Amino acid sequence: MAAVFTPIAPRRAPAGTTGPLAWARANLFANPGSTLATAVIALVAVLAFPTVFRWAVSEAVFAPDANACQAARGVGACWGVIAEKWRLIVFGRYPFEAHWRPELATILLLGLVAASGLRAFWKPWLAILWLLVVPAFFVLMAGGWLGLAPVPTDQWGGLPLTVMIATFSIAFAFPLSIAVALGRRSRMPAIRTLCVLYVELIRGVPLVSLLFMASFLFPLFMPVGKSPDVLLRVMVAMTLFAAAYLAETVRGGLQAIPAGQVEAARSLGLTWWQAQRKIVLPQALALVVPGIVNSFIAMFKDTSLVTIVSLYELTGALNIALNSDANWRPFKIEGYIFIALVYFAFCFAMSRYSLWIEKRVSAGKAR
Amino acid sequence: MSKAKSWWRSQAFRGLAFQLLAVALAAFAIWYLAHNTLANMQARGIQSGFDFLSQPAGFDIGESLIAYEPLNAYWKAFLVGVLNTLRVAILGIVFATVLGTLIGIGRFSRNAIVRGICYAYVEWFRNIPVLLQLLMWYLLFAEYLPPLADAISFGDVVFLSKAGLSFPIPTWGAAGFAWSIPHPEGFVMEGGVSASPEFLAVLLGLVLYTSGFIAEVVRAGLASVSRGQVEAAASLSLTRTQAIRLVIMPQALRVIIPPLTSQYLNLTKNSSLAVAIGYPDVVSVATTALNNTGRAVECIAIVMAVFLTTSLSTSALMNWYNRRAAIRER
Amino acid sequence: MTQPIITFDKVNKWYGDDFHVLRDLDLQVAAGERIVICGPSGSGKSTLIRCINRLEEHQQGRIVVDGIELADDVKAIERVRRQVGMVFQQFNLFPHLTVLENLTLAPMYVGKVPPKEAEERAMEQLARVRIAEQAAKYPLQLSGGQQQRVAIARALCLKPRIMLFDEPTSALDPEMIKEVLDVIVELAGQGITMLCVTHEMGFAKAVADRVIFMDQGQIVEENNPHDFFDHPKSERTRDFLSKILGH
């Protein structure tokens, strides 16, 4: 075998092996089972699509006209109920003329949350931004200052309430959760026991029971005669709830830091506390960001439960908007679909963001 | 000499002092809350104690696994609630596991449409709050289920109507073993057993929501098995089914079981949302009892105790399983 | 040669649209022949041997193994894999099974061998690779060298006619390379057809009938070890050899 070597230039793959046709063959018709699945699903889609399209689009009523909606009942969806009632759903019982205030407040808060999630904004002035936006939010919502009419907290509702509860419960829970996570890993048995008790107790009971506690028991815990605001009590309950779950996430991040890091820090003369603060926590927190985002998504969905203790977030606001209006009451389903889409939009976007962050974190770790 | 003087600087002393301080603070906090609670209850004329449990409840419960009447004691009412919670939780866990596993495996299908449908299912049901899902299903059932007289029948043995899903059940009577078949009589469904619309709404909502999370857990578990394992199994000429059964699933299960247990606990806790629909689970019963007797602390404590017991025993079981199943390393 | 046991006939493979990893490859391997394949990374040498047991699929050309042509026929692929044993760089032992269970798995489920006989066969192979005393241990309790020897024994349990080695010692600590190479050398003396992708040139000189140098998806040069190492014909071969033999 002594032939002279002649190099062969690379060629492009032949047409039949790549491109959409090849993809279809591999992904839709690879084997009899796959082909059958494709055929059955295509058949179902073709049969169902006209009915769904008819109900949702072609026979649906988009104008806020109650009579047209009644006429189309059973045949077409009444999206008019959204056109008519969306402001009541999104802003709850907040005074109608002043809706610009919760609107602005929500946009500011959402902007702040979004900014805090982007690595590019993790600079010292972000803390200042928090110190500015948070009071601004409360001033806009509560009023009584700068010429804004005061609005009591039991009139706050809808989307601003959801965003507010989710954001502040996570924000306040975060430092608490770090303390609890560190306490759980402490070598001092009393501290460890207290932290374990707290986490296991909170995680073992449903959020509903904690909200009932906030609603019925917190007033009893206060000195006789004082009864704090419902919203405040619910915020405390949600914060304690979030902190217990977040503490587990942070603990996972702390555990992922090899023991060698603490050993190296101690051998350089740092105390345990300094080692945690300077070496372990910064690394652990970077790992924990996806977990925090997931907790935020979970809290965002869990805020829907405050309906049960008479705070009117989106679901509660929908009930108020429709229950009292006989013309629109039959079209609650369309209202529910609208709210579901709002929740889906927020939560799906946040979960995509969380996945993106996770990829970036693991890319940073890859050798 | 200097050692004796600075004993208060030593690590051991500091640790001890810190712990004593923490415990003292915690004890003080508990005392303070208890003191206020008792004072408030006195001021409002509410009595405390669990003795109310032996008093007649005075309210009816929509559905129950055991015989119950309004004159029964409160403790029996709570028992009915607990049984209702367990009923929906256990069935929910079974169905959610089956559905979630199928969808999790479906994410690896060779068919792109199946993969896409599974992905869409997971994203849709996970990103909508479970309470909203429960309310939607309940509304759909209330609106669109036919009245009893026009019940949808499946072969005349299974009926779907505003009275729920009615199906036959075997009974043991004087004549021995027999089937009790449901049939509509006027305004009531006689015979068989009916799953109320409330129960169906809670079950359906919990199953669909939790199965999305279980599908993700199963998918992550399957993905955690390295490609090399799949290739080694293939190079040994194992068929795809054999590879999944003998090599991939055993390894995947170790990764799946802990988060799966966590999902089971979530489903059980989420069953408490039944209070929003009127399904008489333990939280609903506790709420009614609370409103009747004013004994908020006791009623909420009972609810928390029920759930804590479930959670802690499930966690203990899972820890035991984890220790047994761990892959042995050097 | 009499009917070759492996034939590659104008085989082409692409990853995606543009990466032409095997280019018009022709190769014939006689039964009992021992071949070492070397070359720079990305040259397609691992891809070549992974095509033999269909862990990779080729797009053009024909591959015939032990009289069976490799195509989409699943049953044919399974028959081929029973005749071809593979040893991986990362061992890929099943961590949830003991060493013995790792070895008896395939004979019992693929070869339909009764458990008693499968166990005897397994102990025989373990003795062959000199690791019989570890039969009850779990893979992660063993060292890298021990795990790779178990992997070799596992591949031998199906009594294959061809053994493929994909860089078997590249993931091992230096002091364990010898124990694995010794086992492979012993195997080589027993008449089994072997294709080994490796950088261990001493091993190639000791055992190979033919050394193949691959670069950019093609066979640049192939020769018996003596002529290959001492009188390389192509510039590229000389270049490569100077790099890996230099240190």
The residue of chain C with its CA nearest to that of A9 is C23
Please give the residue range of the domain that contains residue B270.
74-127+210-325
pLDDT at res. A201: 92
Instruction: Tell me how far apart the alpha carbons of residues A226 and A334 are, in angstroms, rounded to a whole number.
Output: 42
Which residues of B fall within a CB distance of 8 Å from C95? 251, 327
Q: Which residues of A touch C216 (CB under 8 A)?
A: 7, 10
CB contact under 8 A, B329 and C109: no
Element (H, E) at B103: helix B74-106
- Asked if C59 and A11 come within 8 Å (Cβ–Cβ), the reply is no
B120 interface with C at CB cutoff 8 Å? no
Instruction: State the distance between the two ends of chain A, measured CA to CA, in whole angstroms.
Output: 42
pLDDT digit string (tens) for C181-227? 999 999 988 889 999 999 888 899 989 999 999 999 999 999 999 98
Residue A214 is classified by DSSP as: I
* Percentages (nearest 5) of helix, strand, coil residues in chain A: 75, 0, 25
> A301 and B129: CB-CB below 8 Å?
yes
- Written as tens digits, the pLDDT of chain A (367 aa) is 445 678 888 888 877 767 788 888 888 888 888 889 899 999 999 999 998 998 888 888 888 888 888 888 878 888 888 888 888 889 988 888 888 888 999 999 998 888 887 777 777 788 888 888 888 898 888 888 888 888 888 888 899 999 999 999 999 999 999 999 988 888 888 889 999 999 999 999 999 999 999 988 888 888 877 778 889 999 999 999 999 999 988 888 888 887 788 788 878 887 877 888 877 777 777 778 888 888 899 999 999 999 988 888 998 899 888 888 888 888 888 899 999 999 999 999 999 988 887 787 666 555 4
Tokens matching residue C4: 């070759």
Selecting from A2, A8, A17 the residue whose C-beta is nearest the C-beta of C23 gives A8
| Residue of A81, A205, A329, A341 best to disrupt the B interface, most CBs of B under 10 A | A205
3-state SS class at A201: helix
Picking from C34, C10, C42, the residue whose alpha carbon sits closest to that of residue C214 is C42
* C18 to chain B, closest Cα gap in Å: 23
**A344, B128: Cβ pair inside 8 Å?**
yes
Count of CB contacts below 8 A, A vs B? 155
pLDDT tens column, C155-188: 999 999 999 999 999 999 999 999 999 999 999 8
CA distance C36 to chain A (A): 16
C34-38/C193-197 β-pairing: parallel
Q: CA–CA separation, B28 vs B22, rounded Å?
A: 10
Half-sphere exposure of A95 (CA within 13 A, CB side): 13
Interacting residues of C121 by C-beta distance below 8 A, sequence separation 6+: C103, C104, C107, C113, C157
What per-residue confidence (pLDDT) applies to B79?
Answer: 93
Chain C interface, mutation test: which of B224, B225, B229, B236, most C Cβ atoms within 10 Å? B236
The reported pLDDT for the residue numbered A1 is: 43
Average pLDDT along chain C:
92
- B 220-249 residues with CB < 8 A to C: 226, 228-229, 231-239, 242, 246-247
Interchain CB distance below 8 Å, B231 and C109 = no
Quick one: pLDDT at residue B227?
92
HSE-up (13 A, CA, CB side) for residue A35: 5
Residue B246 has its nearest CB partner, among C88, C93, C109, at C109
Q: How many contacts (CB atoms, under 8 Å) link A and C?
A: 41
Rounded to an integer, what is the distance from CA A349 to the centroid of its chain? 9
The helix (H) or strand (E) run that includes residue B34 is: helix B11-44
8 Å CB contact of C109 and B242? yes
**Do C79 and C28 form a contact (C-beta atoms < 8 A)?**
no
Strand order in the sheet with C193-197: C84-87, C162-166, C193-197, C34-38, C210-215, C218-223
The distance of B127 to chain A (nearest Cα, Å) reads: 5
H helices of A213-302, where?
Answer: 218-221, 230-256, 259-267, 272-275, 281-302
* A348 interfacial to chain B (CB closer than 8 Å): yes
Rounded Cα gap, residues B109 and A37, in angstroms: 11
**Could you give the 3-state DSSP secondary structure of residue A313?**
coil
In a domain, B34, yes or no: no
Option in A1, A8, A13 nearest C14 (CB)? A13
Nearest CA in chain C to B230: C92
* Residue in chain A nearest B110 by alpha carbon: A27
Q: Which among B231, B328, B329 is the nearest to C88, CB-wise?
A: B231
CA distance C229 to chain B (A): 32
Which of chain C's residues have a Cβ under 8 Å away from the Cβ of A5? 220-221, 233-234, 236
| Yes or no, beta carbons of C222 and A17 under 8 Å apart | no
Q: Residue A15: its chain C contacts at CB < 8 A? A: none
Q: Give the CATH fold of the A151-362 domain.
A: MetI-like fold (1.10.3720)
CB B277 within 8 A of CB B62: no
More confident of the two residues A146 and C130: C130
What is the predicted pLDDT for the residue at C118?
A: 94
Is the complex ipTM higher than 0.90? no
A213: chain B residues, CB-CB within 8 Å: 300
Determine, yes or no, domain membership for B247: yes
CA distance A353 to chain B (A): 14
For residue C73, the model assigns a pLDDT of: 87
For C212, the 3-state DSSP assignment is strand
Mutate to test the interface with C, among A17, A21, A25 (most CBs of C within 10 A): A17
Shortest distance between the Cα of A237 and any Cα of chain B, in A, equals: 14
Residues in CB range of C9: below 8 A, 6 or more apart: C26, C61, C62, C63, C64
Helices C144-156 and C115-128 cross at an angle (nearest 10°) of 130
Query: What pLDDT is attached to residue B1?
Result: 47
* CB A318, CB A188: distance < 8 Å: no
Nearest-CA distance B222 → chain C (Å): 15
Number of domain units in chain B: 1
CB–CB contact A217 B297 (8 Å) = yes
Q: How far apart are CA B321 and CA A148, in angstroms?
A: 60
Helices marked H in chain C? 45-52, 74-83, 99-109, 115-128, 144-156, 174-188, 201-207, 225-230, 235-246
Q: What is the DSSP string of B156-213?
A: TTEEEETTEEEE-EEEEETTEEEEE--EEETTEEESSEEE-HHHHHHHHHHHHHHHHH
Q: Which residues in chain A touch residue B143, judged by CB atoms under 8 angstroms apart? A: 333
pLDDT reported for residue A367 = 40
Q: What is the least distance, in Å, from the CA of B327 to any CA of chain C?
A: 6
Q: Residue B241's closest chain C neighbor by CA?
A: C109
| B102 contacts chain A (CB < 8 A) | no
Residue-wise pLDDT for B272-282, tens only, equals 999 999 899 99
Q: A7 and C216: CB-CB below 8 Å?
A: yes
- From the list C95, C96, C110, the residue facing B236 with the nearest CB is C110
Is residue B130's pLDDT more than 90?
A: yes
Interface membership of B129 toward A (CB under 8 Å)? yes
Residues in chain B closer than 8 A to C70 (CB atoms): none
Nearest-CA distance B130 → chain C (Å): 37
Please give the pLDDT value at position B61.
Answer: 86
Q: What is the pTM of this model?
A: 0.85
- What three-state secondary structure class fits A128? helix
A5 and C236 within 8 Å at the Cβ level: the answer is yes
Q: In the structure encoding, which two tokens stand for residue C216, read together?
A: 């950019």
In angstroms, the separation between the Cα of residue B253 and the nearest Cα of chain C is 11
User: Domain ranges in chain A?
Assistant: 151-362
Of all residues in chain B, what percent carry a pLDDT higher than 90?
43
Half-sphere exposure in the Cβ direction for A34 (13 Å, CA):
16
